[in-house]
């Protein structure tokens, strides 16, 4: 089965059979469930609008047509942005005074995948309760379609990525003049999706020379689209060959940002947020938030500036909720996701690029030197395959008890903070797996801690 239903939406592989893959029937069913939830949320209003946008996946146009026309069939009007990004749709929902939004993207998944990501009227991802309600509607086929005189309208609206750029350039801490004076040269790898349109356009507005790599939005991903070091060999080599100041990498829906130093080395996805937070906190006092699986470096930088750092459960909606609770001025996830409330509560690579280039320009440091100015931590990411018969919750409870004398957090699995390193254990929602993330002062120590914890779990589980 390749159809995954969760509170954050539905994703799956194109083709195959209904309920096993993301078929046209499944796309219609889930769009109708979202539409039904939206109508109920708005007291059965007949005057609702939803913004729809898609990344450049081969299946995007087909899935978008199904989703848009399903909403129209429910009496909901649709504003179709066409090729877009996740943060662009998030920005468009409140600007267009819409009641919700749907982004058609499977983020960093390969080209055979697609998904429906669902937004509320603020342009933010739905919370757990709302997501669960939509799943219940889908399970019960609990939706009603509009009669012919009550059908919604369909409007195409082009140019929203440029409007998104306008909004980014208006931000107080984006120093356009400093960036222009720095005369940066940047290589961009947008994995042949919509980042290939919007990131070069943003850089042009910032006076940055842009060398394009995989920027044709045709959905033919030239490498695994998750921006991990093993997938970024081509851009690393091109940055050095072009004598560029840095490389910029985004995933297909442009909500994750990875950076390459001028020598072709990885700046590190975890450090995208660290650098942007360092810049923002240097201009305004405040707090930060990331999730439990993100680097301790953000805490260190936050405390250096006199702020308070908090960690949320994994998941963007959880990060956003804690950011609101703590009045955080910047936050995000260690996968290169920057959430900057002065813009909007969603991961946004455009915001990340603009803040990072402002920081780099004003620091007058090279990308490599800036990276080396931060505390150096190393992560190890592993998983243990478990048999379905094993009680994963019980195993995690035993691990929490084993380390009860340490600093233990159990809001999302078990995280144990030691003096100089940490381990985070989480169970997968879709398969019998325990994920083991560790971080320490060296790669060897991170790997060693991971092995020790994995051996302990294996002993408890009897595997």
CA distance 118 to 202: 26
Host H or E run for residue 247 = strand 246-250
- Return the pLDDT at 245: 98
pLDDT tier for residue 429 given thresholds of 50, 70 and 90:
low
- Return the pLDDT at 215: 98
CA distances from 248 to 171, 354, 391 (A): 20, 11, 42
- Return the pLDDT at 136: 94
Per annotation, catalytic residue among 59, 107, 294, 440 = 107
- Return the pLDDT at 155: 98
Please give the sequence-ordered ranges of beta strands (E in DSSP) within 326-447, or none if there are none: 328-333, 337-339, 378-385, 407-409, 414-417, 422-427, 433-440
Mean local confidence (pLDDT), 290-297: 95
Say how many C-beta atoms besides its own lie within 10 A of residue 118's C-beta: 25
Mean local confidence (pLDDT), 31-59: 96
CB 302 within 8 A of CB 294: no
- Return the pLDDT at 432: 66
Host H or E run for residue 355 = helix 349-363
pLDDT at position 200 over 70: yes
Residues 6+ apart with CB under 8 A from 384: 433, 434, 436, 454, 457, 458, 463
Say how many C-beta atoms besides its own lie within 10 A of residue 442's C-beta: 12
Cα dihedral sign for 227, 233, 238, 241?
A: positive
pLDDT tier for residue 70 given thresholds of 50, 70 and 90:
very high
Mean local confidence (pLDDT), 149-176: 98
Considering only CA atoms, which of 204, 230, 187, 200 is closest in space to residue 381? 230
Mean local confidence (pLDDT), 168-185: 98
Mean local confidence (pLDDT), 176-196: 98
Cα dihedral sign for 94, 100, 105, 107?
A: positive
Task: Give the tens place of pLDDT for each residue, 103-144.
Answer: 999 998 899 999 999 999 999 999 989 999 999 999 999 899
- Return the pLDDT at 463: 72
CA distance 365 to 268: 17
Is 65 a residue of the active site?
A: no
Of 94-98, 383-387, 418-422, where does mean pLDDT reach its minimum? 383-387
Residues pairing with 117 in the sheet = 9, 103
Say how many C-beta atoms besides its own lie within 10 A of residue 17's C-beta: 11
- Return the pLDDT at 331: 98
Ramachandran angles phi, psi of 455, nearest 5°: -65, -40
Cα end-to-end distance, the chain, whole Å: 26
Task: Give the tens place of pLDDT for each residue, 208-253.
Answer: 999 999 999 999 999 999 888 899 999 999 999 999 999 999 999 9
Tokens of 435: 């994920």
Tokens of 388: 């379905």
Q: Tell me what the pLDDT averaged over the chain comes to.
A: 95
């Amino acid at each position: 089965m390749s159809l995954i239903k969760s509170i954050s939406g539905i994703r799956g592989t194109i083709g195959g059979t209904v309920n096993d893959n993301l078929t046209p029937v499944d796309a219609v069913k889930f769009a109708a469930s979202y539409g039904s939830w939206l109508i109920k949320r708005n007291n059965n209003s007949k005057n609702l609008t939803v913004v729809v946008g898609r990344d450049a996946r081969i299946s995007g146009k087909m899935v978008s047509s199904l989703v848009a026309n399903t909403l129209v069939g429910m009496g909901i009007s649709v504003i179709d942005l066409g090729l877009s990004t996740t943060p662009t749709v998030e920005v468009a929902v409140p600007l267009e005074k819409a009641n919700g939004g749907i982004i058609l993207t499977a983020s960093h998944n390969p080209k055979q995948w697609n998904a429906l990501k669902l937004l509320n009227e603020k342009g933010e991802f739905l919370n757990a309760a709302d997501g669960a309600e939509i799943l219940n509607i889908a399970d019960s086929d609990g939706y009603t379609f509009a009669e012919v005189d009550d059908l919604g309208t369909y409007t195409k609206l082009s140019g929203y990525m440029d409007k998104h750029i306008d909004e980014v350039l208006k931000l107080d801490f984006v120093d356009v003049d400093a960036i222009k004076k720095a005369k940066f040269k940047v290589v961009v790898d947008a994995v042949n999706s919509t980042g290939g349109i919007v990131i070069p356009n943003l850089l042009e507005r910032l006076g940055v020379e842009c060398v394009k790599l995989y920027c044709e939005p045709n959905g033919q991903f030239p490498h695994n689209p998750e921006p991990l070091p093993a997938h970024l060999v081509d851009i690393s080599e091109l940055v050095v060959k072009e004598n560029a100041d840095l490389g910029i990498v985004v995933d297909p829906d442009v909500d994750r940002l990875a950076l390459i130093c001028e020598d072709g080395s990885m700046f590190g996805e975890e450090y995208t947020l660290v650098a942007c937070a360092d810049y923002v906190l240097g201009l305004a006092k405040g707090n930060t938030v990331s999730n439990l699986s993100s680097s301790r470096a953000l805490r260190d930088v936050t405390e250096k500036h006199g702020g308070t750092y908090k960690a949320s459960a994994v998941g963007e909606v959880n990060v956003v909720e804690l950011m609101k609770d703590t009045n955080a001025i910047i936050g995000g996830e260690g996968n290169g996701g920057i959430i900057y409330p002065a813009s909007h509560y969603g991961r946004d690579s455009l915001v990340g690029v603009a803040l990072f280039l402002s920081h780099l320009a004003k620091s007058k440091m090279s990308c490599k030197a800036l990276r080396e100015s931060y505390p150096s931590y190393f992560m190890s990411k592993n998983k243990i395959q478990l048999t379905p018969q094993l009680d994963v919750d019980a195993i995690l409870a035993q691990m929490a008890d084993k380390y009860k004398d340490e600093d233990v957090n159990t809001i999302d699995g078990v995280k144990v903070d030691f003096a100089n390193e940490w381990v985070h254990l989480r169970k997968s929602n879709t398969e019998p797996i325990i994920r083991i993330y560790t971080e320490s002062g060296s790669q060897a120590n991170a790997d060693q801690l991971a092995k020790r914890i994995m051996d302990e779990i294996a002993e408890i589980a009897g595997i």
